[in-house]
Amino acid sequence: MKKRKGCFKFALMLSRFTFVFTILLFLVTFLAHAQSSGITLGYLTCNDYLKLNDNDRIKWLTGAMDGIMAESTYIEKDPKGPWLGRCIDGLSIEQIKAMFEKALNENPEGWHAPAAIIFRDKMHVFYINHRIF
């Protein structure tokens, strides 16, 4: 009986190892392929943002806003909703784009920084300075 119990534990350990190894192998393969394909896994500098055409800029801003709102929904738990949602209420995507690009053009020394971080910071400053909630 003891021998079977030991074999079962070994088989369970081996199957767990195989599962974890398979996941790690998949991740390494995916990351290597992503890097060779030019996919930067969400990292876009302000410089890269400025090289995008208008359509791609709007798509990027929409995705960045979705991410910020999802983040603040889980962190804040504010019954009024995410701060960014209250901040951009009534603004068009063109206005948001113009505000962000104005901030970028006024601060070219920050173009090397991640665009999502700069966008979040600029929108949060706008929220604090212009909105009373």
pTM for this structure?
0.61
Both tokens of 99, joined, read 């505000």
**Which backbone phi and psi does 84 adopt, to 5 degrees?**
-65, -35
Distance CA(115)–CA(42), nearest Å, equals 10
Q: Average pLDDT in the 15-25 region?
A: 79
Q: How do residues 46-95 score in pLDDT, each as one tens digit?
A: 999 999 999 999 999 998 888 888 877 777 777 677 777 777 888 899 99
Q: Where are the domains of the chain?
A: 1-41, 46-130
Both tokens of 33, joined, read 């392929």
Q: How do residues 23-46 score in pLDDT, each as one tens digit?
A: 877 777 766 655 555 544 457 899
Both tokens of 34, joined, read 């992503």
